[in-house]
Structure formats: C-alpha cells, structure tokens
Amino acid sequence: MSVVAEEKRAETRSSSYRWVIISVWMTGHVFGFIVLESLGLLLPSINKEFHLSPIEVGLLGSAPRIGTMVLAIPAGWLLSRYSPKKLTSVTFAIGTLLIVFQGWSPFFLLLLLSRFLFGITLVAREPARALLMRQWVRPREIVIVNSFANLLWGVSAIGFILTPVILNLLDDNWRHTLYVFAVISLGLALLWQVLGKERTTPEYLAEMRSQEVSPITSILRYRELWVMGMGLMGIGITWASFATFWPTYMLENFDVSISTSASLMAISGGVSAVAGVGVGILVSRVGKKRLVLWLTGILLAGTQMGMLWTGSYTALVLIFLANGLAWTFFPITMSIPFELPRIKPRELAVAVTFMETAIWVGSFIGPLLTGAIQQVTGDLRTALMVAFTSALTMSLAAMMLPRKWDQVTQEAQPQGA
C-alpha cells in the first residue's frame, strides 16, 4: 500500500473518532447542567430545611452565573492556551468535588457559594469544546455535529426524570441525591480520562502559532456575535426562570407533582434532541438559518406562556411537544462562530465562550428578576410571564443577522479532519 493511501486511511480512522470525542465530552458537560438545573426539582426538599424566601431561591438559581459573567471571556482567553484534554479533565474533577460540597453544605450561604463555584467549572470547560471541534470537525459538518450534541442534551432529559425518582428512593433527601450525582460525575470524569484524545495536525498547530493579536479582539470584529449574544441572553432569562420556579408553580397552583413536571420537561428535551438532528441536517443542506431562528423564538415564548394556564396533563404534553421543537435552535446558533471568516483557533474559543456568556448573563438575570417580581407582586404567574417574553429576543436577533447566513455553508480548509 502506498504512503499516500495509508495516510488517507489513517485520516479516515482518526476522523471517525470525532464521534467518540464529542459524545464523551458532551455527556460529561451536559451532566453538569443536569446537576445545575435540578435545583427546581430539589427545591421543595431544600425548602423544608432552609425555608427560603423568593429572593433567596432566585439567588440560588443565579449563583452559578455570577462568576461566569465576569470570568467567562478572560477564562476563554487564558485557558485557550492549554491542552483541551487536560482542561476538560481538571474541570471535571473540580466539578465533582463541588457537587459533594453542595450536598454537604450545612447552611444556605455555603450552598450558595458551592453553586457559584460549580458554575465557574462549567464555563471554564467551554474553550476545550471549541478547540476539540476545531481539531476534529470539518467546517461544513459543524452544524451536524452540534445537532448530535443537541441530541445528547435531549438524552439528558432522562436526568430530569431520574432526579425525583432518586429523591424518592432516598426518602426525599436532597443531600444524598447530590451525592449520587457526584458518583455519576466521577464516573464520567474517568471515562473522559480514558477515551479523550486530541488531534493536533500541522495545520492546526500552524494556526495556533499564527495568532499575533489577542483573541479577545475577535469579539469586536464580528457583528454576528453581538447579535446572537442578545438572542441567547433572552433565552437564558427564559430557561433559568422556568427551571427554577415552574415546578413549584405547578405544584402550588395545579397540584402537579414534581415527578410529573420532570416527565414533561423530559418530553421537551427528547423532542428537541430528535428534531434538532433533523433541523441541523436540513440547515446544512438548504441554509435558512435566519428563518429557523425567527420561528423558534416565537414558538418558545408562546409555548412557555401556555404552560402557566393549565394543569391538564394532555394539554401540557401537547405544549411540551411543541416546546421541544422550539429548542432546536442551539445547533444553529453555536455553529455560527465556527463559520466566521478567517477566525483562528484561540479566537474561536473566545467567540464560543462569549456566546455562552450571553446565555449565562440571561440565566443570572432570570431567576433574580422572577423572584423579585414575585416578591413585589405576590404573583409568580406574572413574574414568569415577564421572564418568558424574553425568548422573543431570539426572533429579533434572527432579523438582525445578515442575509448571508441563509446560505448553505461552504466547505473550507478541513483543518486536517
């Protein structure tokens, strides 16, 4: 066999390993968000011990976002210098310890601090994702790979079903539930340590060396990042408010159990996972990113409003089915930084972190805003209606994107993939 043929064969083998890399990395990362967003499901149990006010609940929901708003972009700038495998390993390990610390916290302020630090580990991991995808994935495949990652987010909906199950098996003990999460997190960290790999091709190394200016300037160069950041911030407000307050709202107003709320949330996640793959493949072939983003913003705001007005399980199932379709925008929004012209690896890491920061800013604002409005008005429904309206910013962002984003992505330098 010729040398050229052998190199092509090796390239094919190593390129196919990208699915292992994305699967293991995203599973571990998504699990961190399951821990984070399970607060709403654990809240009734936590309240029995701490007797929290609406403002304190809002602080617990927002705490993981506080540090990330300040540190995310500097972290993307500094941490993009390091090996993405090592960065992932370190953040997985520290995150596991902080889950244990959350479960151990003997009083409210320590629980608040541990959630704050746990959020930092999640955002510190983001530069690794951007660099790993740059190493392993061709530009035209980005939206498809992001759709596959979105599928894993949908599979994570199982976590929302299992959380109340674990809670019930452990006699409604939220601390022991978090200890179970810590064991799972440790297993995923070890799995990454075994299977995680990098692919540092000559092209990738040359790009890393060619970056003469600070990668932070990439945020200033691309208007698309600011436009999508606005849309994602609105999405963050909607999601964090929903995850923190909606299960309690349904329990108190419609006598819908926490387990039922969890199963409904899982329906949305499952639909989003499957539909997201289809939307990603479709967009990669026909374009129309702006249209999809516009439609999903409207659908998301409408369906989450509908969740506040009925306790009928049948009606809620239909609403959550439609809501799942609304969450299919993530593969599109997160593919945009990868398709920006002439963007280099470390600039890409900062750009992706910037967009993640926009979500975190919204996620910080959401629970605090909702808790404050509830505190003033005494009406959680009004508070949630205000929060859910913010999803329309995604539709506004879609209208502000240049028309070129409706075109099919053209193949570029394959980065050795």
Q: Would you say residue 62 has pLDDT above 80?
A: no
pLDDT at 315 over 60: yes
Q: What is the average per-residue pLDDT within 330-354? A: 83
In a domain, 1, yes or no: no
pLDDT band at 415 (very low <50, low <70, confident <90, very high): very low
Count other C-beta atoms under 10 Å from residue 214's C-beta: 11
CATH code for position 366: 1.20.1250.20
Q: What's the predicted TM-score (pTM) here?
A: 0.70
- Give the rounded percent of residues in the chain with a pLDDT score beyond 70: 85
* pLDDT tops 90 at residue 398: yes
User: Residue 334 — pLDDT band, cuts 50, 70, 90?
Assistant: confident
pLDDT above 70 (res 31): yes
In a domain? residue 411: no
Task: Give the whole-number percent of the chain exceeding pLDDT 90.
Answer: 34
Cα separation of 349 and 215, whole Å? Answer: 8
Domain range for 241 is 10-406
Would the pLDDT of 181 be above 50? yes
Task: 256-260: list long-range contacts, CB under 8 Å, 24+ apart.
Answer: 256/311, 256/313, 256/316, 258/41, 258/44, 258/164, 258/167, 259/164, 259/165, 259/168, 260/313
Domain for residue 414, yes or no? no
Q: For residues 389-404, give the mean pLDDT.
A: 93
Q: What is the pLDDT of residue 277?
A: 81
End-to-end CA distance of the chain: 22
Q: What is the pLDDT of residue 352?
A: 82
**Is 121 domain-assigned?**
yes
What are 306's two structure tokens?
């509908």
- Once rounded to an integer, what is the mean pLDDT over residues 26-54? 84
User: In the predicted model, is pLDDT for residue 150 greater than 90?
Assistant: no
| Model pLDDT, residue 189 | 95
- One-letter identity of residue 285: R
What value, to the nearest 5°, has the Cα angle with vertex 198 and ends 196 and 204? 160
Per-residue pLDDT band for 211 (boundaries 50, 70, 90) equals low
Quick: pLDDT tens for 118-136: 988 888 888 888 888 888 8
pLDDT per residue as tens digits for the range 87-115: 999 999 999 999 999 999 998 999 999 99
Q: What is the dihedral of CA 275, 134, 139, 349, to 10 degrees?
A: 80
pLDDT of 293 > 50? The answer is yes
Mapping DSSP onto H, E and C, the string for 279-330 reads HHHHHHHHCCHHHHHHHHHHHHHHHHHHCCCCCCHHHHHHHHHHHHHHHHHH
Tokens 């009606």 correspond to 315
| 364-381 confidence digits (pLDDT tens) | 888 889 989 998 999 999
Q: With respect to residue 3, please indicate whether it lies within any of the assigned structural domains.
A: no
150 belongs to a structural domain: yes
Q: How remote is the C-alpha of 417 from its chain's centroid?
A: 25
Is residue 5 predicted with pLDDT exceeding 60? no
- Two tokens, residue 385: 């209606």
Work out the mean pLDDT of the chain and round it to a whole number.
83
Residue 264 belongs to a domain: yes
Residue 4 lies in a domain: no
Alpha helices in 196-222 (DSSP H): 202-209, 217-221
- Our count of domains for the chain comes to 1
When comparing pLDDT for 365 and 413, which is higher? 365
